[in-house]
Amino acid sequence: MAATASARSLFGRRPRVTTVSPRDGFDYLSDEDVYLDSACQTLRPRPVIDALIAYYTEYGACGDRVRYAWGRRVETEVAATRDRVLSVFGLPARRYACAFTLNTTYGLNLLLQQLPAGRYARVLTTHTEHNAVFVSTMTAARRQGIPREVLDRGPDGAVDLAGHDLTDAVVVVSAMDNVTGTFTAHLADLVADVQRRGGIVIIDAAQAAPHALSRLRGVAADAICFSAHKMYGPSLGVVIATADLLASLDASFVGGGQVSAVSHDEFTLLTEPHTRLEPGLQAWGEIIAFGAALDWLGPRLAAVEESEAHLAQRLFDGLADMPHLTLFNTAPAPVISFVPERVGAHRLAIFLSKAGVMVRSGHFCAHHWLADRLGLDALVRVSVGAHNTTADVDRALDVISRMMRGL
Amino acid sequence: MLCVVAFVVVLVLSAVSAKYRKLLGRAWGCAWRKVTFRACDTTFRDDVKSSMLAPLAVRAPRLVTPASIAIEVTAWLMVLSLVVSLFILGRSGLNLFVYGTCDKQDAQSCSLAAEMCSIDAGPIGFWESIGEGDVLGAFGNEFASLGETFAAVPSRLRDWDAADYAAADATYLGGYTDGRPTALEIIDPGCRFCAQLFRNMREAGFDRTRNVTYLVYPIVSDDGPRFANSPLVASYLTAIRAYDAGLGGPASGADWAILEAVFTQQNADGLDWQIWLNTASATEARSQLHTWLADAGYRPEQVTEIAALAASAETAQTLAETRTVVEEQIRTLAIPSLVAGGRLRSGLVDVDTLRGID
């Protein structure tokens, strides 16, 4: 019931709740293939693929200030997607704008590398961030000439702010890490604390957006970056940011689609806030198809979250019972990592692939946390998505179990 | 070692299919690190090995570890085999360039070499030494032999002049003609390829454009002469030249007449004289040589004197000196060899080549 209510509030005006039947929207998948790498990229449901094909085959024109019919249609649908994104995240259009980029990393960098000089006193992040955050905060701090501080997190993912000055800080943190799927506890409090001290909070929601949207909704961060391709959409980055933050950026990546007038040595930027992050032509088809992804996900969100929770618990319990394997997670989550003890992670991933089970191996772009700080060799990560079924998980557990016992 | 093997395999596959060429770059990077004693690109190495083991991991995970060890051992053996093969290939190529044969120990066995009667050179071969348990000796001999071959490289690159190696009392096929360049053949009267070379020279008219002379070199091994009567014939050829030189007049040409008979003529039974000589007893061979000397115009007492000279220490000394020239100056392993046109040619030279020599 709680999940249903949550879905209703997310997609408020037309409450339409759909239960997820096995392979709902993913009828093209073979039962032989068990894809467990949704943390990297989710598979796309049929309506998303159809929307993208429709754009390419029916009205594949440019958006932005065109006068012909196809272009007008593109413009309308892109604008609708922007509105849908803000709606899904429960953020008001009067304060926030939605811009599209290449991916989460690109969005974070566009923000961090264009922060106004002298405005901020420090950059704060945490040890468990993936490279998109961890590395971009390094270069941003260097560019600004301000200190960068790396904070610890508690077992619940809460950021330990003790001893750190939040005054005029740029805080960049993930809402859910991409190794254990731990959601950052007290995220809204963190945002409020930082903003109260004149700082800003930029949230990396690459994992939280697809797996914990209901918990992320309404968190009034200054910016939220995530990837449509981790959220059942096409390859696309999304940035939700306050109009104030976007307006304050020191525009460095500029060109077509961003200016209203240009003289010999000067230019005038457009007033629409999202244009600050959208130099040049955009991926119109992908943006429109992401709108279709949100339409598909909306009525299913509660069911998807419920299904993921069920699959995560099953995976966690099954892996916990296996020999020669150390779970890195302390609790079930849609993203679970483990260290195989008698075989390398990459090798195990290749072996599993041969058995039709696709998992990720490596340090998952969290090199500082896993390799540098904890000194771990490569890990194996399994992550579930809307397309997964109990049969998928059981088959994966069966194959992993046989290999853990036999290798 | 696996990435070295993988590189070789990918290299071969790349030669026939473009789709492997991107992989070739990764394979080369990994192999290069390995041969320069650095850690291999583990991603590539593990990818290759894991892909090989994956089918087994799915069906019988317990067999993966022994299979992994087997792959490593096999890879080591393949690399070792590759290194040895490359060494043999390089050594054979060098031998072919320097000596005209890829196998110094058994020149005749090299299929890339010209047709020849081989002079077995040097100590026993590598595997024979290994077979005798002399591992150090095997490697020592191998590298000593290789050193000799390297040392001989400059001599193969220089401009050869046949006159430098001709005997002091040299005779010439058809007589000496002023203005013609000299050609020198190194022959064993019992070797069938020397007979063929003689016939080729005649057919090519080589003897009409060159002053063709010879060094007679009966091939000898630990078991004695390769052709039973070659030393006897060689001593008579040497004695004839010395006898004629002692008379102070022009060469009789009897030595060439004997060589022509041996290389081109048959006895009354239709058997080549060369084949007959190789199977005849020394007495029979000596008698036939005397017949040929008589046919060449020598009186009986002169034949007797030549026979005595052939058996003399003086002739033995001359033959020994010739042997030294062949083995230490010319350094050929092939009979016949021909010094002509500024080059040393090992083995039988065909008619067209003889016609093309400047």
Residue B46 contacts A where some CB pair is shorter than 8 Å: yes
| pLDDT of amino acid B51 | 86
CA B287 vs. chain centroid, Å, equals: 33
pLDDT above 70: residue A22: no
Q: Is the peptide bond before B336 cis (omega within 30 degrees of 0)?
A: yes
Three-state secondary-structure class, residue B119? coil
pLDDT range class, residue A13, cuts 50, 70, 90: very low
Q: Could you tell me if residue B101 is inside a domain?
A: no
Q: Is B346 helix (H, G, I), strand (E, B) or coil?
A: strand
Q: Distances in Å between the alpha carbon of B48 and those of A404, B44, B56, B79?
A: 21, 6, 14, 16
Q: How confident is the model at residue B40 (pLDDT cuts 50, 70, 90)?
A: low
CA closest to B65 among chain A residues? A407
Compute the average pLDDT of residues A390-398.
96
Q: How confident is the model at residue A11 (pLDDT cuts 50, 70, 90)?
A: very low
Structural domain of residue B248, as residue ranges? 162-356
Q: What is the pLDDT of residue B199?
A: 96
Residue B130 or residue B281, greater confidence? B281
The alpha carbon of residue A176 is apart from the nearest alpha carbon of chain B, in Å, by: 29
Residue A269: name the closest of A242, A246, A237 by CA: A246
Residue A401: the pLDDT is 97
A3 — pLDDT class (breaks 50, 70, 90): very low
Residue A350 parent element (H or E): helix A345-354
Band of pLDDT at residue A19, cut at 50, 70 and 90: low
Cβ count within 10 A of residue B79: 19
pLDDT category of residue B41 using cuts at 50, 70 and 90: low
CA–CA dist A239, A216 (Å, integer): 14
* pLDDT over 80 at B5, yes or no: no
- How far apart CA A343 and CA A377 sit, in angstroms, is 11
Split at pLDDT 50, 70, 90, the class of B335 is very high
What's the rounded Cα separation, in Å, for the pair A2 and A190? 25
Is B64 in contact with A340 (CB distance < 8 Å)?
Answer: no
Q: Which residues of B touch A351 (CB under 8 A)?
A: 50, 53-54, 57-58
pTM of the model: 0.72
Is the residue at B59 inside a domain? Answer: no
Per-chain mean pLDDT for chain B: 88
Copy the structure tokens of residue B56: 């087994």
Least confident of A117-126, A345-354, B49-58: B49-58
pLDDT band at A405 (very low <50, low <70, confident <90, very high): very high
Task: Say yes or no: B59 contacts chain A, CB-CB below 8 A.
Answer: no
Nearest residue on chain B to A378, alpha-carbon basis = B43
Which of A351, A405, A406 minimises the CB distance to B54?
A: A351
Q: What is the β-pairing status of strands A34-35 and A357-358?
A: parallel
As a whole number of angstroms, the longest Cα–Cα distance in chain A is 72
Interface contact flag, B54 A399, Cβ < 8 Å? no
In contact, B110 and B96? CB cutoff 8 Å: yes
pLDDT at A16: 53
The answer to whether A363 and A134 are in contact (CB under 8 A) is: no
Element (H, E) at A152: none
CB pair distance less than 8 Å for B61 and A346: no
Q: Is B71 on the interface with A (CB under 8 A)?
A: no
The residue count of chain A comes to: 407
Q: Which amino acid is at A248?
A: S
* pLDDT tens readout for residues B105-149: 777 777 777 788 888 666 677 778 888 888 888 888 888 888 888
A21-30, A126-135, A184-193: which has the minimum mean pLDDT?
A21-30
| B253 inside domain | yes
β-strands A259-262, A267-269 pairing: antiparallel
Structural domains of chain A, ranges and CATH numbers in brackets: 2-45+300-406 (3.90.1150.10), 48-297 (3.40.640.10)
pLDDT for residue B42: 59
Mean pLDDT along residues B242-247: 91
Q: Which of B143, B147, B139, B99 is nearest to B121 (CA)?
A: B99
Burial of residue B128 (number of CB atoms within 10 Å: 0-12, 13-18, 19+): middle
Largest interatomic CA distance in chain B: 96
Q: What is the mean pLDDT of chain A?
A: 93
CA atoms within 13 A on the CB side of B127: 3
B195-221 pLDDT, tens digit per residue, is: 999 999 999 999 999 999 999 999 998
Which residue among B43, B55, B64 places its CB closest to the CB of A407? B64
Is B117 a member of any domain?
no
Q: Tell me the pLDDT tens digit for each residue of A130-146.
A: 999 999 999 999 999 99
The Cα-based distances of A190 to A128, A217, A242, B37, B114 in angstroms read 16, 15, 17, 52, 89
Residue A303 and residue A386 in contact, taking contact as beta carbons nearer than 8 Å = no
Query: Which range has the worst mean pLDDT, A220-234, A271-285, B320-334?
Result: B320-334
Residue A2: the pLDDT is 39
Beta bridge partners of B225: B220
**Nearest CB neighbour to A406, from listed B46, B50, B61:** B61
Structure-block tokens of residue A258: 């961003």
Element (H, E) at A62: none
The whole-number pLDDT of residue B128 equals 80
Model ipTM value: 0.73
| Residue among A188, A259, A176 at smallest CA distance from A225 | A176
Q: Which helix (H) or strand (E) holds A293?
A: helix A284-297
The pLDDT score that the predictor gives to residue B8 is 77
Count CB neighbours of A211 within 10 A.
31
The answer to whether residue B120 sits within a structural domain is: no
Cβ–Cβ < 8 Å for B336, B197 = yes
Rounded CA separation A286/A51 (Å): 9
Q: A10 pLDDT band (50/70/90 cuts)?
A: very low
B235: domain CATH number? 3.40.30.10
What is the H or E stretch that residue A304 is in? helix A301-320
B206, part of any domain:
yes
Q: Is the CB of B53 less than 8 angstroms away from the CB of A351? A: yes
CB within 8 Å: A353 and B54:
yes
In angstroms, the CA B70 to CA B84 distance is: 21
The Cα–Cα gap between A392 and A406 comes to 21
With tokens 């969005």, the residue in question is A107
Q: Do A350 and B50 touch (CB under 8 A)?
A: yes
Q: Which string of b and e fits A174-203 if b means at least 16 CB within 10 Å? A: bbbbbbbbbbbeebeebbebbbeeebbbbb
pLDDT classification of A398: cutoffs 50, 70, 90: very high
Interface test with B, best of A354, A402, A405 (most B CBs within 10 A): A354
What whole-number percentage of chain B has pLDDT above 70? 96
Looking at A226-235, B132-141, B217-226, which range is the least confident one? B132-141
How many angstroms separate the CA atoms of B261 and A341, rounded? 85
Q: What is the pLDDT of residues A162-192, one digit of tens each?
A: 999 999 999 999 999 999 999 999 999 999 9
Please judge whether A406 and B60 are an interchain contact, meaning their C-beta atoms are less than 8 angstroms apart. Answer: yes
- Contact assessment for residue A229 and residue A236, using Cβ atoms and an 8 Å cutoff: yes
Q: What is the pLDDT of residues B138-193, one digit of tens each?
A: 888 888 888 888 888 887 888 999 999 999 999 999 999 999 999 999 999 999 99
Note the pLDDT of residue A6.
46
Contacts of A268 (CB under 8 A, 6+ apart): A259, A260, A261, A262
- Is position B304 within any domain? yes
- Chain-chain contact of A351 with B46 (C-beta, under 8 angstroms): no
Q: What DSSP string describes A95-126?
A: TEEEEEESSHHHHHHHHHTTPPTTS-SEEEEE
Inter-chain residue contact B61 with A405, CB threshold 8 Å: yes
- Mutation target among B41, B49, B64, B69 for the A interface, most CBs of A within 10 A: B64
> How far lies B255's CA from each of A45, B262, B273, B312, B339, in Å?
99, 11, 15, 17, 20
State which residue of chain A sits closest to B67, comparing Cα positions: A407
State the pLDDT at residue A188.
97
% of residues, chain A, pLDDT over 90: 91
Residue B15 has pLDDT above 50, yes or no: yes
- Give strand pairing partners of A148: A123
Classify residue B314: in a domain, yes or no: yes
Count of CB atoms situated within 10 Å of the CB of B135 = 11
Helices (H), chain B: 2-16, 21-35, 42-59, 64-99, 126-131, 135-157, 192-204, 206-209, 230-247, 254-264, 273-279, 282-295, 300-310, 313-324, 351-356
- At B10, the amino acid letter reads V
Tokens for B259, please give them.
Answer: 């060589």
Which pLDDT belongs to residue B130? 84
Counted across chains A and B, CB pairs separated by less than 8 A come out at: 41
Domain count, chain B: 1
pLDDT at B39: 66
User: Residues 6 or more apart from A329 whose CB is under 8 A from it?
Assistant: A180, A181, A316, A336, A337, A338
Site from B44, B53, B58 to mutate, A interface, most A CB atoms within 10 angstroms: B58
**Helix axis angle, B282-295 to B254-264, nearest 10°:** 120
Q: CA–CA separation, A74 vs A288, rounded Å?
A: 8
Residue owning tokens 């940035």: A239
What is chain B's length?
A: 358
